[in-house]
Amino acid sequence: MTKIILRMLLLLVPALLTAQKEKITFVGDLFGSNSVIEITTENNWDTTRVTYFKKQWDVVINQGTAEIKMVHSHIDKFRGNWGGIGIGLNNFFSTPFNSELPPDAEYLNLIAGKSVEVALNLFRQNIRLQQHRNNIGLVTGVGLTLSNYRFNQYETRLGRDAAGQTCEIPLAEDRIAMKNKLLVRTITVPLLFEYQSPNKYKSSLYINAGIYGGLNFSSHVKVKYSDNNGVKKEKFREDFNINPFKYGAMVRTGNKWINLYASYDMSMLFKKGHGAPEIYPWSVGIMLASF
């Protein structure tokens, strides 16, 4: 295509040599489409700029000869928003947008204000969707999420019975529990569609939304209690029949410095048919220093 346009410019050179100091527009059926060519003579009368679609060439006339130079206009790369350090709050849905758990899942009720999520998103990849602008694109990457689920039930803890089914396990009678929580570590990979408000500054507002997949690679229950020997902490490391893979939907908005996000797991936290109730994690939070 570039070679064809250069040949076209050479055919226009005789007209350029005799052109007056004005803007000339040609409209025609070029290359199977209705095309517009603009020719503008610069102040020094020796340089003429030819515009075809979004590309431009300078034709420099010097002593009866013509030199054609392509004008390179710099377009910033699309830079999506994913990286950063985030903190949020977790909770469960038993059904969409219903946080009330069934009676057999009361031991999984959370202390909402203390069920904290920490996200560290380090790697980001941008996919630009526009040819001549840079405010719409796709964003993917990799992030590490630590989800703390702080239970309000202190007499029991999460565990598995002899048959391997998820259940609640009573604590010893001489122990007075002070903290009971589940920690799940997850590798998250999103695919988000992002729109940024056109802005010459890098702090423009944006919104992105899409899906994500995750790998729950580690989990443990931590119980803090006191007994006759003082205050102690104990960790129980197992998978508790937690689904190894998860997927969900996410939306984020903000600017370069402050960002809000919300996510909803469309997959259950625990494997179906292994004793645990059907619950779906969700979170809302703030991401700082997005990059």
Q: What is the pLDDT of residues 48-59, one digit of tens each?
A: 666 655 566 666
Structure tokens, 234 = 């104990």
Domain boundaries, the chain: 2-71, 84-288
Q: Token match 């001489």: residue?
A: 174
For 11, which DSSP code? H
| Mean pLDDT calculated for residue range 33-47 | 52
How high is the pLDDT of residue 266? 96
Structure tokens, 172 = 């010893």
Highest mean pLDDT among 12-21, 57-66, 239-248: 239-248
Q: Residue 249: which of 280, 194, 211, 213 has the closest Cα?
A: 211
Between the two ends of the chain, the Cα-to-Cα distance in Å is 37
How high is the pLDDT of residue 69? 63
Would you call 15 helix, strand, or coil by DSSP? helix
How high is the pLDDT of residue 9? 54
- pLDDT > 50? residue 207: yes
- pLDDT > 90? residue 139: yes
How high is the pLDDT of residue 4? 57
Stronger pLDDT, 95 or 26, i.e. the higher one: 95
Highest mean pLDDT among 1-15, 68-82, 190-204, 225-239: 225-239
Query: What percentage of the chain exceeds 70 in pLDDT?
Result: 71
- pLDDT > 70? residue 231: yes
- pLDDT > 60? residue 167: yes
How high is the pLDDT of residue 5? 55
pTM confidence score: 0.74
- The rounded mean pLDDT for the chain is 81
- pLDDT > 50? residue 34: no
CA distances from 238 to 235, 241, 242 (A): 10, 8, 9
Would you call 264 helix, strand, or coil by DSSP? strand
- pLDDT > 90? residue 82: yes
pLDDT digits (tens, 9 = 90+) for 92-104: 999 888 888 888 8
